[in-house]
């Protein structure tokens, strides 16, 4: 894939930016998340995490079991702050 390819659509991050982050020393999705904001958009990494991890493995030689994979934490879907404030826990 070309460097211009968008990997994280939520945060508009390209493959080139991810490669630069890895070259700068990032060795995990979490490190790239802190550096570039990948995985911090609406999808919370559901669309980009696998592609980012594949690029980390490709450029660093790490195996999948060596990668620190972040745990997903609720909420895994968007919620309204007014529901949080009100304490509404009903799923919609």
- In percent, the amount of the chain with pLDDT more than 90 equals 60
CA 3 from chain center: how many Å? 17
Q: What is the pLDDT of residue 80?
A: 84
- Identify whether 1 is part of a domain: no
Tell me the backbone φ, ψ of residue 46, rounded to 5 degrees.
-60, -30
Q: Within 10 Å of residue 32's Cβ, how many Cβ atoms?
A: 26
Q: What CATH number has the domain bearing residue 49?
A: 1.10.10.1100
Q: Can you tell me the distance from the alpha carbon of 60 to that of 71, in angstroms, rounded to the nearest whole number?
A: 22
- Identify whether 91 is part of a domain: no
- Identify whether 73 is part of a domain: yes
* 73 contact partners, CB below 8 Å, separation of at least 6: none
* Domain coverage including residue 72: 6-86
Note the pLDDT tens digit of each residue in 5-16: 999 999 999 999
Note the pLDDT tens digit of each residue in 14-65: 999 999 999 999 999 999 999 999 999 988 888 999 999 999 999 999 998 8
- Identify whether 56 is part of a domain: yes
The number of distinct structural domains making up the chain is: 1
Q: What is the pLDDT of residue 8?
A: 95
């Amino acid at each position: 894939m070309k460097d211009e390819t968008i990997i994280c659509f939520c945060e508009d991050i390209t493959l080139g930016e991810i490669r630069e982050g890895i070259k700068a020393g990032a060795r995990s999705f979490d490190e790239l998340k802190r550096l570039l904001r990948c995985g911090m958009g609406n999808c919370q990494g559901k669309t980009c995490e696998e592609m980012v991890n594949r690029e980390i493995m490709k450029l660093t030689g790490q195996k999948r079991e060596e990668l620190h994979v972040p745990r997903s934490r609720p909420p895994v879907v968007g919620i309204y702050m007014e529901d949080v404030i009100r304490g509404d826990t009903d799923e919609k």
